[in-house]
Amino acid sequence: MARYTGPKHKLARREGINVLDKTSNSLLRRLSVPPGVHGKKRKKKMSEYGLQMREKQKAKAIYGLLEKQFKGLVDRVSTQTGDTGELLLSLLETRLDNVVYRLGFSSSRFMSRQLVSHGHILVNGKKMSIPSYQVKVDEVVSLSPKLQKNSQIAKLLEDTPNILPFLERQATTGKLLRMPKGADIEVPFNTQQIIEYYSR
């Protein structure tokens, strides 16, 4: 299945939440109305399965994952001990493309994926071009010297982002201090329902 490349507002309205990294008044006004000419008429009670599937779709849309990638992460946490929902969130948050976004090196996860894919991101000083790479504790993520000269990136770096407690950033480098916990991050989806969806 190919990655969704259509209108982002349509995707956000389909999921009923802002899955974008930016927002607009236009989107906020229409967020509760599903896309399509019959959007307003499509309100009906969902089954438990339908609700679980929607939660999965929200998470996939936010992190920009394909079904195979997402299911792979769920399968991985299902074999580990601990809170599977929290473990899943931890894996999603420590993907390299997400870490780059969370450190404020890009304005969106889509942009982060592009930066990683094009070889502009270094992990422990070495080029890493795999967006799904799982960043490990104490690994240092930094921008390539060439990217640091980019005017768009330079403008982003002037802002002081709200860095989450499991990360630290100094100028053009950042580090994963520890694995994320559920209390560190507010997400608009229910990880437990996602785990239940795949355990059927």
- Across the chain, which has 200 residues, the per-10-residue mean pLDDT values are 58 62 63 64 78 94 94 93 92 97 94 96 97 97 93 86 92 96 90 91
At the top level of CATH, the class of 95-178 is alpha beta
Architecture of 8-91+189-198 per CATH? Answer: Orthogonal Bundle (1.10)
CATH 1.10.1050.10 boundaries in the chain: 8-91+189-198
Nearest to residue 4, comparing CAs of 79, 57, 71, 83? 57
CATH 3.10.290.10 residue ranges in the chain? 95-178
pTM of the model: 0.79
For the beta sheet containing 121-123, the strands, ordered from the edge strand earlier in sequence to the opposite edge, are: 126-127, 121-123, 140-143, 173-176, 167-170
Task: Enter the tokens of residue 4.
Answer: 């969704």
First CA to last CA across the chain, in angstroms?
21
Phi-psi group of 142: left, alpha or beta (phi > 0 → left; psi -120 to 50 → alpha; rest → beta): beta
Please name every residue paired with 173 in a beta bridge, in sequence order, or none if there are none. 142, 170
